[in-house]
Amino acid sequence: MEKYKLFEALNWASSYLEEHQREAHEGELLLRHITGLSRNNFYMQMRESLPDEQFAAFKKAVEQHIEGVPVQHIIGYEEFYGRRFDVNQDVLIPRPETEELIWHMLEKTDRIFAHKKNVRAADVGTGSGILAITMKLERPDWSVTATDLSAAALKTANRNAETLSADIVFKEGDLLQPLEGESFDVFLSNPPYIPYSDIETMSEIVTDHEPHSALFADEEGLILYRKMSEQLPDHMNRPGLIGFEVGAGQSQIVAAILKKSFPNDHIEVIHDINGKDRMVFCELLK
């Protein structure tokens, strides 16, 4: 049997994926996973032959993705803020735009809490734990608590926290209910915000493999922002910062929802790198 060189296997996969309306670059992620090569070594060894068993495993992985299985579920992880997080069918796969929520939050809190020690932060709807764990690792002196309604999601988040050596308090329950009696300086959430009416137009890679409870929400995707905004005044310290990721086109409504609960505070909509209104922040004044 003729052996494929690395670049030949990659070229085959890229073309095959494109033919089936999948992203060509996913082939590289799958092949690097199968070979265990770093990106640098991968490109340095492009003319090396691929062992038969590795090509068979690669071909199977490409077929799985064409059938609709997310690449992240095949390889078992996704990169977020420079770190590797385990993902599976119980949690939302981290999206690049969520990194921007963290980046803007850190920039704002460095100013707001320039002289404060022991900042307390909460992440509601933590999923795989990306927000809570990233907050803790980027600001090790913070105390971070994370909640989720899903016990299965919290199991994944706990595993990620252990792997990345992040000391997080995880609590199971609905929104801020597990945080009764606690107050925080920083509050972040990337809740489900997709209207159920959008399900028909979405890729089966998402709808068939990621938990609907982490994707979709009632009231055109806005119900959880309303519920959290009603609960937040009992849990926020001053000064403080609230940050939401929102669906494109939802920012002004979410800003108005926050304004109802925090009428005298500073609310800001921030667009992501693609120009979409993806973040709403509320800075609580002293």
Question: Would you list which residues are annotated within the binding site for substrate?
Answer: 190-193
Q: What is the DSSP letter of 272?
A: -
Q: Which amino acid is at 154?
A: L
Binding-site residue numbers for S-adenosyl-L-methionine are 125-129, 148, 190
| Pairing assessment for the beta strands 266-271 and 277-284 based on DSSP bridges | antiparallel
- Kindly report the CA angle at 192 between 264 and 77, in degrees rounded to 5? 120
Query: What's the CA gap between 245 and 278, in Å, rounded?
Result: 6
Binding-site residue numbers are 125-129, 148, 190-193
Query: What's the CA gap between 213 and 90, in Å, rounded?
Result: 10
Query: What's the CA gap between 187 and 150, in Å, rounded?
Result: 19
Two tokens, residue 209: 């493999």
